[in-house]
Amino acid sequence: MSEYQDHIRQSLEGQDVDAGEDVGIDAMRWTPNPVSEDGTDEAIQTAVDTAHALLDRAADAYLSLVNTVLGDGRHHMVASASAPHGDFTEGQELTVIDDTLVINEAASLRVTAVIAAAMVGCATGGLVVRTFGPDGSESVRGWRVRGFWLRPLTAQQIREAYTVVPETGAPVPLEPGVEYRQAGRVPRPDQDPTGPASASNTAPRDNRPPNRRS
Report which residue type is found at 189: P
* 15-60 tens-digit pLDDT: 343 433 443 333 333 444 454 555 566 655 565 666 688 889 999 9
pLDDT at res. 122: 86
- Spatial contact of 24 and 106, defined as CB atoms under 8 Å apart: yes
Q: Which of 32, 56, 69 is nearest to 151 (CA)?
A: 69
Q: What is the pTM of this model?
A: 0.70
- Which residues 6+ apart lie within 8 Å of 79 measured at CB? 89, 90, 91, 111, 114, 115, 118, 125, 126, 127
> Residue 16: how many CB atoms within 10 A of its CB?
8
pLDDT at res. 54: 87
- Higher-scoring residue by pLDDT: 166, 186: 186
Distance of alpha carbon 155 from its chain centroid, rounded?
Answer: 20
Rounded Cα–Cα distance for residues 116 and 12 (Å): 11
Rounded Cα–Cα distance for residues 138 and 176 (Å): 10
pLDDT at res. 185: 96
Residue range 154-169: average pLDDT? Answer: 88
* 101-118 tens-digit pLDDT: 999 999 999 999 999 999
